[in-house]
């Protein structure tokens, strides 16, 4: 190993954590093709099942949620 391989540099690094989920949790997805209000019906470490509060449609997707903020708001939205 050369000295150059041992050197570290400072970079702007973005950290992500999956958020804890609860059955019945009301969520709002932003910036996605799934954007909108959903209710968490079930989940595993790898998958999450969502239900649309308007149509009742259920989807099972790879678990991909990250918290951006949590606040009191109307749900479902308009």
- 57 in helix, strand or coil? coil
Q: Ramachandran region of residue 36, left (φ > 0), alpha (ψ -120 to 50) or beta?
A: left
The confidence score (pLDDT) of residue 76 equals 85
In the chain, domain spans:
19-66
How does DSSP classify residue 54? T
The confidence score (pLDDT) of residue 75 equals 82
The confidence score (pLDDT) of residue 3 equals 54
Report d(CA 21, CA 28) in Å as an integer. 13
Note down pLDDT in tens along the chain; length 78 residues.
555 666 888 888 887 777 889 999 999 988 889 999 999 999 999 999 999 999 999 999 998 767 777 778 888 876
């Amino acid at each position: 190993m050369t000295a150059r391989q041992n050197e570290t540099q400072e970079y702007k690094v973005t950290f992500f954590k999956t958020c804890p989920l609860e059955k019945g949790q009301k969520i709002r997805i932003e910036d996605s093709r799934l954007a909108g209000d959903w209710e968490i019906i079930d989940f595993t470490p790898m998958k999450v099942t969502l239900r649309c509060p308007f149509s009742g449609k259920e989807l099972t997707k790879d678990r991909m949620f990250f918290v951006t903020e949590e606040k009191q708001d109307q749900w479902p939205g308009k």
